[in-house]
């Protein structure tokens, strides 16, 4: 058993100041407020313990990409983000040809079976050419039930989420097909109307892929997909809180109006995350990173991000780290995304759930990370740390 004590512990019920978490065999067995029941194995007097981050939309990081069908490459990307607090990852794939996509899915399925990732997110290829963003427009296609079934069969239950543009000729039927197969469907990379997005929600879609980005913009006579997603209480909306994709004022407005229980903060990170500016690849496209902003080479189109989930968490706690802010940030970086894609054993600090947590210092920087009960990051020299 391992007992962790800290200046604050953020649970779904409230913030314990001070608090403690006890784990055993990869699970949380108890969480409490006040002094711990015995001498802690790890003490973080000046730190905050939050649930391990759940990133449901990420393409890579640390120079590695989930689009590469290599076990080492996949593990390297996951390990990079784990050092930044992401203990649960849905690996996102961009648009590719049928054979290449199948190969990528098989590689990620093996990684999911090995526990490296929690599942797969197909962001393409069933997207709008008009709103393709950093996807290869030449490889976009209408959903084909034969291809869908081939991918689902190859994934053997590891495809958890698929992004679809509902205005495609077979868009709504594909949404119904995927939902019937137990897959979460997200509306995104869409030039669809408000009504078409409403039809997608009625067909079973429950997530909005990086809302506002790569979709028809909101207009007072043409509210578009963002409005349909934001006003529907069944929908969870992804936001890329990197200070680039969405203005901070809009981020605050969405959180205040929709509530933290409906907002999933994501990185949408690509291989460039954690590296200096330079040239990279995202699927079939060349990407240039300048001033930490990734763009398709020769275009103004943003190509994913260079963010990590600890940075995203800090964006959600802009001021004094009040209890209300910490509760909201923990919900949006862990509880809400986990619930959105049906991951029931992660996302909060509660008995019976996976022992996944992040210890954040006074500047909300990562001090320690525990995944499945194992400390995978531990900075023993950090202020307020006492480890017997």
Per-residue pLDDT tens for 213-244? 999 999 999 999 999 999 999 999 999 999 99
Q: Does the annotation place 303 within a ligand binding site?
A: yes
Mean pLDDT of the chain: 95
User: Where in the sequence numbering do the catalytic residues fall?
Assistant: 268
Q: Does the annotation place 121 within a ligand binding site?
A: no
pLDDT computed for residue 178 by the predictor: 98
Q: Which residues contact 241 (CB under 8 A, 6 or more apart)?
A: 251, 265, 307, 312, 315, 316
Residue 387 has pLDDT above 90, yes or no: no
- Reported as a pLDDT band with limits 50, 70 and 90, residue 383 is low
Query: d(Cα 232, Cα 165) in Å, to the nearest integer?
Result: 17
Q: Does the annotation place 8 within a ligand binding site?
A: no
Q: Does the annotation place 123 within a ligand binding site?
A: yes
Q: Does the annotation place 319 within a ligand binding site?
A: no
- The C-alpha torsion from 49 through 55 and 59 to 63, rounded to 10°, is 0
* Residue whose C-alpha is closest to residue 9's, from 348, 387, 352, 333: 348
Per-residue pLDDT tens for 91-139? 999 999 999 999 999 999 999 999 999 999 999 999 999 999 899 999 9
Mean pLDDT across 27-33: 97
Q: How many CA atoms lie within 13 A of 190 on its CB side?
A: 31
Residue 140 has pLDDT above 90, yes or no: yes
Q: Does the annotation place 302 within a ligand binding site?
A: yes
Q: Which residues contact 45 (CB under 8 A, 6 or more apart)?
A: 5, 6, 7, 18, 384, 385, 386
Mean pLDDT across 242-256: 94
Percent of the chain having pLDDT more than 70? Answer: 97
pLDDT computed for residue 388 by the predictor: 44
CB 132 within 8 A of CB 189: yes
Which DSSP symbol is given to 331?
I
pLDDT computed for residue 300 by the predictor: 85
Residue 151 has pLDDT above 50, yes or no: yes
* Residue whose C-alpha is closest to residue 11's, from 373, 264, 353: 353
């Amino acid at each position: 058993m391992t007992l962790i004590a800290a200046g604050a512990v953020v649970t779904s019920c409230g913030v314990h100041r001070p608090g403690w978490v006890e784990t055993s065999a990869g699970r949380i067995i108890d969480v409490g407020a006040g002094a711990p029941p015995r001498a802690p194995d790890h003490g973080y007097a000046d730190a905050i313990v939050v649930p391990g981050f759940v990133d449901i939309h990420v393409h890579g990081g640390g120079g590695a990409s989930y689009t590469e069908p290599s076990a080492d490459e996949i593990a390297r990307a996951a390990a990079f983000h784990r050092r930044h607090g992401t203990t649960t990852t849905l690996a996102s794939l961009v648009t590719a040809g049928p054979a290449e996509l199948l190969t990528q899915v098989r590689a990620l399925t093996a990684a999911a079976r090995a526990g490296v990732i929690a599942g797969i997110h197909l962001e393409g290829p069933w997207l709008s050419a008009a709103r393709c963003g950093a996807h290869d427009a030449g490889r976009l296609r209408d959903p084909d039930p034969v291809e869908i079934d081939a991918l689902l069969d190859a994934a053997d239950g590891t495809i958890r989420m698929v992004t679809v543009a509902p205005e495609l000729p077979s868009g709504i039927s594909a949404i119904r097909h995927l939902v019937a197969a137990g897959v979460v469907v997200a509306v995104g990379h869409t030039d669809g109307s408000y009504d078409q997005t409403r039809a997608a929600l009625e067909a079973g879609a429950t997530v909005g892929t990086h809302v506002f980005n790569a979709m028809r913009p909101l207009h007072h006579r043409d509210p578009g997909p963002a409005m349909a997603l934001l006003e529907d209480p069944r929908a969870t909306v992804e936001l890329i809180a990197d200070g680039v994709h969405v203005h901070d004022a809009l981020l605050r407005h969405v959180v205040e109006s929709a509530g933290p229980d409906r907002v999933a903060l994501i990185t949408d990170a690509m291989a460039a995350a954690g590296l200096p500016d330079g040239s990279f690849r995202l699927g079939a496209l060349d990407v240039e990173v300048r001033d930490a902003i990734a763009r398709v080479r020769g275009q103004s189109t943003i190509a994913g991000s260079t963010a990590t989930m600890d940075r995203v968490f800090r964006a959600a706690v802009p001021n004094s780290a009040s209890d209300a802010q910490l509760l909201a940030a923990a919900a949006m970086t862990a509880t809400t995304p986990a619930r959105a894609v049906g991951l029931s054993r992660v996302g909060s600090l509660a008995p019976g759930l996976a022992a996944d947590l992040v210890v954040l210092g006074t500047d909300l920087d990562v001090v320690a990370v525990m995944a499945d009960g194992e400390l995978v990051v531990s900075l023993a020299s950090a202020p307020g740390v006492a480890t017997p």
